[in-house]
A and B are shown apart, each in its own frame.
Chain A
Amino acid sequence: MDVWGSEQRLEAPPSAGLFYWRQLVIWPFRKTTTFIAPSFEEIKKRAKILVIDDSDFVYAPLFTRDGYTIEKWDDVENLEKLENNYFDLILLDIQGVGQSESEEEGFGILKHIRAKSPAQIVIAFSNADWSLKYQDFFDLADRKLAKSQDYVEFKRIVDDLLIQRFNYRFYIEKIEKIQNLSHTERTRITQAAQNSMLSGKIETTSIAVKDISKEDAQLVLAIVQTALAVIAL
């Protein structure tokens, strides 16, 4: 963006977390503001993880031991918390959960999360990973995990996704994946989303999504709002 000789850029090296480099040039003065990405330890300290599973989650004490904040629900206890990005990461089982909310159980819950909060990170974890019947569930999630995996594998995937959550690219990619957008719309909207993340103001994106369908506009705005909420932390 180039406004009256000022330049604003958003940079984030892969896996480095959010990294803002904001440079405002007002000749002859030069002012630079740099936001350092949170360290992984910082991310871990801030992050809230939720497990929704009707069986025991045996790895919970290991996550706690390793410094994570983890909550376990046997079933969906508070739908609102799933919709408003209260948790940074949700581990969701497909069978035996969300029966009162959806006939499709965990899959229904995941669809609901995707509609309400498209940038919510969800790991689908189940023993039903071998059945093609449930593949839509796994495909809709950010990652999948078989329950028999080692703790180190669970931890590796959780760490990887938490780092992504604090990286602006994750949100840009989510916007890029919205299918109905034309190339021009996609370019314009992602640029606007970057600017919103940089300025902390949603208005730039709101203007950019005026011409697209209401549903897509809501998705884009929800993604940018999540990014802004994470940044505000």
Chain B
Amino acid sequence: MTNITLPHVINGKLHDGLIIKWPQRCHTCKTNECRNHTNEIGLCSYGYNFTAINKTVLAGFICPDHQSSSQAKTKNIRKEKQQTINIHLVESQKASLRQVSIKKSTALQEIKNSARDQFLNQESFRDEFILEIKEDILKGLSFVHDYKQINATISQNINVIIETKYLGLEFDKKIEQATQQEQAIYWASKFLQEKLNVAKYLLNPDWITRESETTSFRFHGLALKYVKLYNDLFKRKGITPSVSGNSYKNILANPEAISVIIQTLLDNAQKYSKKSGKVEIHISDQVDHIFFSVESYGPRILDSERELIFQPFKRAKDAIKSQEEGAGYGLYISQLIAKRIGTIIEVEQEAQLKERQGHWTTFSIRIPTNSWK
């Protein structure tokens, strides 16, 4: 920690500086103007200057050679020579604080990266678990084939109806002309298909990296396809997801497996968002990966639950409270897929609770753009 010469506020607490102490009146101040974080040097109604460097606020000093100084406001405190400091000393203090902050965030990032690498290499995150319960899953999912058969009949027939009833060369245009009921049947069938695909990877994780399924494709296009697929469900909750960023890179992978990750993150955002909530999707090219994130308000994920939510058939307590339904294998299989392609899904959540919405939660993944098998 750097030696702070000026009075300062950290996490709402007042600390005296090594050279300048807090003026008495600041301890009883009710306006707390200095807490309004600003990088510029500001002036409070008492006539003291203040400024912020990240989350540290320097305040309670007088800087007569700064343009913010006010003759009128400082006339009553001019005698307080002990609070006076040269502007250059203030700037130098700010610079050293900035330096400390950069060092801290670099160290934090290093810890994060190391934890991430450790997680990727650790033995506990293995898919052998699934082998142990595979028989049970197989029994539980014995319906998959029948459901696929039924869904194929629904899908083909709604296709024929839309294809023959509406004019136009492109199928997308025909869907737009279709009645609400026809569209609902079509999209429901697509959804069911996607859900059944997840079971495929749960039963046989070898599908993820199977060579016959590996192809080069643009991630951005795939992600947008699923945003479109989920649009109607979002709309029903009065949510218009915003998509930012752009990506032109291709990845060499199994697109169907990658789509499980995309749809799981979108599905969770849709499922746990309250009405008129907010969902932000971001896709961008980075040096050696594509960054993809889905942010939304959601139930609290306790620190102790951060790893648990990626375990099979486990869900956060708050998630169970807000949505009783849910098997709890979406994030597990998504993380399994992520790990097989040499990355992981990360989750971050703001501690602050927004009333009737939940906690702002970010699920993100860095998909490697280099070839992998």
Contacts and interface: CB of A to CB of B under 8 A. Distances in A.
A195 B155 CA distance: 47
B196 interface: yes
Contacts, number: 63
A198 B196 CA distance: 49
Interface in A47-85: 58-59, 61-62, 65
B183 interface: no
B171 interface: yes
A139 B197 CA distance: 19
Given A138-B212, A148-B189, A150-B171, A127 B159 contact: no
Interface stretch (A11-19, A33-41, A128-136, A186-194): A128-136
A61 B151 contact: no
Contact of B145 (A127, A148, A150): A127
A22 interface: no
B42 to A, nearest CB: 61
A61 B197 CA distance: 28
Contact of B160 (A135, A146, A147, A151): A151
B152 A148 contact: yes
Interface string B153-182: 101110110011000000100000000000
B339 to A, nearest CB: 20
B44 interface: no
B148 A127 contact: yes
B200 interface: yes
A152 interface: yes
A175 to B, nearest CB: 21
Contact of A62 (B153, B163, B207): B163
B159 A151 contact: yes
A59 B207 contact: no
Interface string A140-152: 0000001111111
Contacts of A58: 153, 156-157, 159-160
Contacts of B204: 130-132
Interface string B183-218: 000000100010011011001101100101000000
Contacts of B171: 150-152
B109 interface: no
B152 A146 contact: yes
Contacts of B157: 58
Contact of B155 (A61, A128, A132, A150): A150
Interface of B: 144-145, 148-149, 151-153, 155-157, 159-160, 163-164, 171, 189, 193, 196-197, 199-200, 203-204, 206-207, 210, 212
Interface of A: 58-59, 61-62, 65, 127-128, 130-132, 135, 138-139, 146-152
